[in-house]
Chains A and B, each alone.
Chain A
Amino acid sequence: MTTHLPRRALLGAAAVLATPVPLRAQAAARLVVIGGGFGGASAVSFARRTYPDVQVTLVEPQTRFVTCPYGNLLIGGERQLAQITYTYDGLRARGVNVIHDRAAGIDAAVKRVRLAGGQTLDYDRLILSPGIAIRWGAIEGYDQAAAEVMPHGWIPADGSQTLLLRRQLEAMADGGVVGFAIPANPFRCPPGPYERISMVAQYLKRHKPRSKILALDAKEGFSKQGLFQDGWRALYGDMIEWVPGNRDGRVVKVDPREGVLETEFGTRHKVAVANVIPPQSAASIAIEAGLANDTGWVPVNTRTFEARAAQGIHVIGDANIPGPMPKSGFIANTTSKQAVASAIALHRGQTPPEAVYFNTCYSHVGAEYGISVVNIFRPNADGTAIAEVPNSGGVSPRGDLPEQRRLEATYADAWYDSITRSMFG
């Protein structure tokens, strides 16, 4: 039902050209997706549901995926690691060819992906959802070894970084200072550091109430700031001190041995536990393929997500620069669908569909205290610009609204359950 039109078109072209391509014409379109996180898993799930005649291959080195969202709830023990860990069995059952290997390189000219294990995959369209890389050394002294002492917890992998932070909090004496280093924009999950601060504060209030949090930020403002700070005062009193960049909040150097976070103007903050969230870039495969610009992120057509630097490669998730859109799981999810629909349309010589991108991002300030931001974005027709729909979206209302906060915490759970089931279920 869904195949006769493009087949006929391809066969027609073959007849005109009088070349022996009917085998090619009868072959299903090959969609290869690199990366099985929020972008990639959403892409393959949507592709299988919507285009049953397309061959869908997912390349993902890990056999288990730990979500970034809800990772902060491990800190206070609201969630356990197994509750935010998924396998790819559900996607296999839906007909996705899941290959657990690392994509080692992309040859855009011949449309081929090379895997670390030696296998090659030919594609008609490639969806690249590689995620982020930590820019080691962007903060002096912060390398992989330092991250074993001062965890970042920003790329979940097997969850060990977040659990390390939790163990450090458990080992800390009451009255200690927990330090945060927070990067400038753009970075993965703009409200994430502030939700993490909240969940650390919740743990400390319950177990180590004389402790303090020192949040050193490279920025002068942050996502949902008013709502977070209202919630911090209401739930945690004066436990949290946030220091913006223009008050010497930018951490430029760390000393893991001494437990010191050093800021731009040389202030050395000695802390008991440090969560260093470093500057980031697109993952290395995107940079090695020449898709990123000098910002370290990948510019894309905002309607099709095709990389500006390479035809046939659609880059989704946190690795791209999607104009004003945040690097969030929900944006990765909704844009992945547009990227797949565009990839299939372009492969078939059709016009990509009209696009609307959707983001609802909940944050926990307390166990039963949720806040959110909603955004709806639309690109222009040729994908050169993107803007938020006027008068839409926005953050939760401020004020003393306990029922709103409680409902948003409940809806956050519903979001997490729904979106993970739509990806992995």
Chain B
Amino acid sequence: MRLNALPALLLTLALSSVAPVVAAEPAPLAAEACLGCHGPDGRGGAGAIPIAGRDKAEIAAILLAFRANERPGTIMGRVARGYTDAEIAAVADHYSRIR
């Protein structure tokens, strides 16, 4: 249990309540998958590369480059090729909001 996760969650909820999405809608499930390797809230740790708090356009550009085989990667090319434009945008939006 990480205590500092709670303010981040509240912040995310607060932001999403003003965003043009249904308030009760969970974080996009495509973004949930990132948690499997990038640490709680995407903050990294123990060898995991952090993705939280980066610029939204930067995250999207990196994922699009992985998807287009324009960026060398260990596994991320294989991952990104499974995602739609909308999902990449949602992932970038979600992790850019976490501070």
Contact = CB atoms under 8 A, between A and B. Distances in A.
Interface of A: 1-2, 5, 46, 49-51, 89-90, 93-94, 330, 333-334, 337-338, 341, 353-356, 358, 360, 372, 374-376, 389, 391-394, 396, 404, 407-408, 410-411, 413-415, 417-419, 421-422, 425
A376 B37 CA distance: 15
A5 B23 CA distance: 10
B17 A1 contact: yes
B63 to A, nearest CB: 13
Q: Which 6 A-B pairs have the closest CB atoms?
A: A376-B82, A392-B82, A358-B33, A414-B48, A414-B47, A417-B46
A422 B79 CA distance: 20
Given A46-B32, A338-B29, A418-B48, A356 B37 contact: no
A356 B87 contact: yes
A415 B37 CA distance: 4
A419 B2 CA distance: 14
B61 interface: no
Interface in B20-43: 23-27, 29-30, 32-33, 35-40
Given A94-B1, A374-B82, 14 more contacts: A50-B26, A89-B1, A93-B1, A358-B33, A374-B79, A411-B74, A413-B47, A414-B37, A414-B48, A414-B49, A415-B36, A417-B48, A422-B40, A425-B2
Interface string B1-23: 11000000100010001000001
Nearest to B39: A418
Contacts of A1: 13, 17, 23-24
B26 A418 contact: no
A360 B29 CA distance: 15
Given A353-B29, A374-B79, A422 B36 contact: yes
A413 to B, nearest CB: 5
Nearest to A3: B24
Nearest to A407: B74
A225 to B, nearest CB: 18
Most chain A beta-carbon contacts within 10 A, residue among B9, B32, B46: B32
A375 B29 CA distance: 15
17 contacts: A46-B26, A333-B36, A353-B26, A356-B30, A374-B82, A376-B83, A392-B78, A393-B78, A393-B81, A410-B47, A417-B46, A417-B47, A418-B46, A418-B48, A419-B36, A421-B2, A425-B40
Contacts of A333: 36
Given A414-B37, A415-B36, A422-B35, A356 B74 contact: no
A24 B65 CA distance: 51
Interface residues of B, number: 33
A79 to B, nearest CB: 13
A182 B98 CA distance: 45
A330 B3 CA distance: 25
Contacts of B9: 49
Contact of A360 (B17, B36, B87): B36
A256 B4 CA distance: 53
Contacts of A356: 29-30, 33, 82-83, 87
A42 B52 CA distance: 21
Contact of B78 (A374, A407, A417): A374
B24 to A, nearest CB: 4
A413 B46 contact: yes
A418 B75 contact: no
Given A330-B36, A392-B82, A417-B46, A408 B29 contact: no
B66 to A, nearest CB: 11
A419 B49 CA distance: 14
Most chain B beta-carbon contacts within 10 A, residue among A338, A341, A358: A358
A291 to B, nearest CB: 24
Nearest to B32: A337
Contacts of B29: 334, 337-338, 341, 353-356
A56 to B, nearest CB: 14
B79 A360 contact: yes
